[in-house]
Amino acid sequence: MGEALVLVRDLEKSFNGEKILEGISLEVKRGEVVGLVGPNGTGKSTLVKILAGVERTDSGEVSVRGNLSIVYQEDYLLPWKRLRDNLCLWAKFRGRDCEPLEVSKRLGIEEFLEKYPKEVSGGTRRKAAIARALLINFDVLILDEPFTGLDQASKESLLSIITELANSGKAVLVVSHQLEELFRVADRVYVLGGRPAKIRKILRREELGKGAV
Amino acid sequence: MRRGWLYLLIFAVASWVALARLYPTLIPGIGETLRFYSEAGWGLVLNSTILTLYHSLAGFLVAFLLVGASILLALYSAEFKDFLSSLNVFVQSVSVLVWTIVFIMIFGVTSSIAPILVTAMASFPAMLSAGISSSEKLLERYRPLIALLRPSRLQLYVHFIVPGTLPEMVSASRVALGIALRISVVAEAFGSAGGIGYQLVYSYDLGVKAGVFAWALLLIVLMITLDQLVLGRLEEWVRRWYW
């Protein structure tokens, strides 16, 4: 494994005086798929927003090296743009060419590219949000609950994309409560729990499986 | 909705007929009022209507462009955004009469610039408030996506703020255009050589009661038509197109 592209050390975060994350430390190296699991409300999405720079930490160190791309838990598709234009926003803002067809085909949304978000199902919107993140030129990819709302074929497709990304040297952090999918691709899984949430366990690939958490 | 308009029409006509019979020296009858249009000449009616619409729409457009430019500049400077808030309060605090007199002093009675600028000043605050609050809500809503895509301020304006605030801006425009139309006739009454407002005051000065009622009726019909047939439908369409 290579250098750590995502590094979090002793992170703490409070909201309205209540501490929700305490002493969080994790790292994701180049070529690695790392999972983060935990019950709802443990601050997983807050951690993602901190890594994205949307939220600030109260204390601790957070560093992301290289370009970052994220699939947020919420799709954030712009309702006034067609899916094709939503997918290509990052490239458009940089004056680059964008070809969304290949990734759209892999996720099974190529026939919806000319539709507006309100004209497609929730699952298609989810896949569009994933495709948009994949079309960003990134070194680090963070996926927050990427499997939610996906059919089995799309889950399989996404799992193979994640594996390919790691093999090509990208660092991938997958936040999910769908352990079965996560355990199939992750090299390491951080288990978040308690209140305030802390890293309770770190499971390595050989330990991943039923009953591990 | 349509029934409501029918009831209003029945109520207005009945009240008008009753009041015209009760106070025949003060209030002209409906027939007499409608006859005024042909007596004054349909050319004058049409010209006055077009001139008032021109003053209103031009004033509205000036305000709309000012608001658009202000929101763009506010993206570049927090100081300018603070200045805008204060400016909005200031513009709201100045009476339409003051704007009218000041602009007539500057541009003269016969110029169209005075009623256009008065109308712009009157409709500016409603649109600026809507523009600022809806753009703030939009930026907060899409903050994670903006952090991910990192657009320039101009790209943020073009791809997020302009299309994203469209429903609120159309609603605000509906209000602002209503204000523009009402205020433009006031400005015309004081500082113009034409338009519905000018004709209304001219009829009043000559003591032609049917003329006062005819021009007032024309203005009301114009406002309701514009609101119901154009702005209301546009607002409905924009909202349906979004979520």
| Identity of the residue in A54, A80, A92 whose CB atom sits nearest the CB atom of B143 | A54
Q: How confident is the model at residue A198 (pLDDT cuts 50, 70, 90)?
A: very high
Number of domains in chain B: 1
Whether B224 maps to a domain, the answer reads: yes
User: Stretch B209-237: mean pLDDT, rounded?
Assistant: 89
B195: left (phi over 0), alpha (psi -120 to 50) or beta: left
Residue of B nearest to A119 (CA): B243
Query: According to the model, what pLDDT value does residue B243 have?
Result: 53
**Kind of pairing, strands A198-204 and A140-144?**
unpaired
pLDDT at residue B242 in the model: 65
Q: Which residues of A touch B149 (CB under 8 A)?
A: 89-90, 93, 136
- pLDDT, position B134: 92
Max Cα distance, chain B (Å): 72
Give the gap in angstroms from C-alpha A126 to the nearest C-alpha of chain B. 14
Query: For testing the chain B interface, which of A49, A68, A84, A89 should be mutated: the one with the most B CBs within 10 Å?
Result: A89
Contact B166 A54 (CB under 8 A): no
pLDDT in tens, B128-147: 999 999 999 999 999 999 99
Q: What is the mean pLDDT of residues A183-210?
A: 86
The span from the CA of B74 to the CA of B85, in Å, is 10
Angle at CA of residue A188, ends A38 and A137, nearest 5°: 95
Instruction: Tell me, yes or no, whether B32 lies in a domain.
Output: no
> What residues contact B122, with CB distance under 8 A and at least 6 apart?
B59, B96, B99, B179, B180, B183
| Vertex B103 angle, CA B100 and B107, to 5° | 135
B:87-116 residues touching chain A, CB 8 A cutoff? none
What percentage of chain A carries pLDDT values higher than 70? 97
| Residue of B142, B146, B149 to mutate, testing the A interface (most A Cβ within 10 Å of its Cβ) | B149
For residue A120, pLDDT over 90 is answered with yes
| pTM more than 0.95 | no
The answer as to whether B184 is a domain residue is yes
Residue B227 has, within 13 A of its CA and on its CB side, a CA count of 17
Q: With an 8 Å Cβ cutoff, are A70 and B142 in contact?
A: no
**Would you say residue B211 lies in a domain?**
yes
Quick check: B144 contacting A, CB < 8 Å?
yes
Better-predicted residue by pLDDT, B183 or A56: A56
- The domain of B113 spans 45-242
Does the residue B154 lie in any domain?
Answer: yes
Average pLDDT (B69-84) is 93
Residue B59: give its domain's CATH number.
1.10.3720.10
Confidence at residue B35, expressed as pLDDT on a 0 to 100 scale: 95
Q: What long-range pairs does A154-160 form, CB within 8 A, spacing at least 24?
A: A154/A107, A154/A108, A154/A123, A154/A127, A155/A181, A157/A106, A157/A107, A157/A108, A158/A107, A158/A130, A159/A184, A159/A185
Scan for tokens 């369409």, then name that residue. B237
Task: Examine residue B19 and state whether it is found in any structural domain, yes or no.
Answer: no
Q: Which residues pair with residue A107 across a beta bridge?
A: none
Q: Which of B148, B162, B240 best tests the A interface by mutation, with the highest count of A CBs <10 A?
A: B148
Residue B75 lies in a domain: yes
Q: Is A4 left (phi over 0), alpha (psi -120 to 50) or beta?
A: beta
Reported confidence tier of residue B104, pLDDT bands at 50, 70, 90: confident
Facing residues of A19 across strands? A14
Give the pLDDT score at B196. 92
**pLDDT classification of B229: cutoffs 50, 70, 90:** confident
Closest by CA position to B117, among listed B190, B44, B203:
B190
Say what the pLDDT of residue B236 is. Answer: 82
Chain A residues with CB-CB distance to B242 below 8 A: 79-80, 118
Q: Is residue B121 part of a domain?
A: yes
Kindly state the average pLDDT of the residues B23-39.
94
Distance (Å, rounded) from C-alpha B241 to C-alpha A177? Answer: 35
Q: Pick the residue from chain A with its C-alpha nearest to B140.
A: A54
Query: Which chain B residues contact residue A136 at CB under 8 A?
Result: 148-149
Backbone angles phi, psi at A41, to 5 degrees: 85, 10
* Closest Cα in chain A, distance from residue B152 (Å): 8
Q: Is the pLDDT at B240 greater than 80, yes or no?
A: no
pLDDT tier at B228 (50, 70, 90 boundaries)?
A: confident
CA dist A47 and A55 (Å) reads 8
Q: Which of A68, A72, A93 sits opposite B151 (nearest CB)?
A: A93
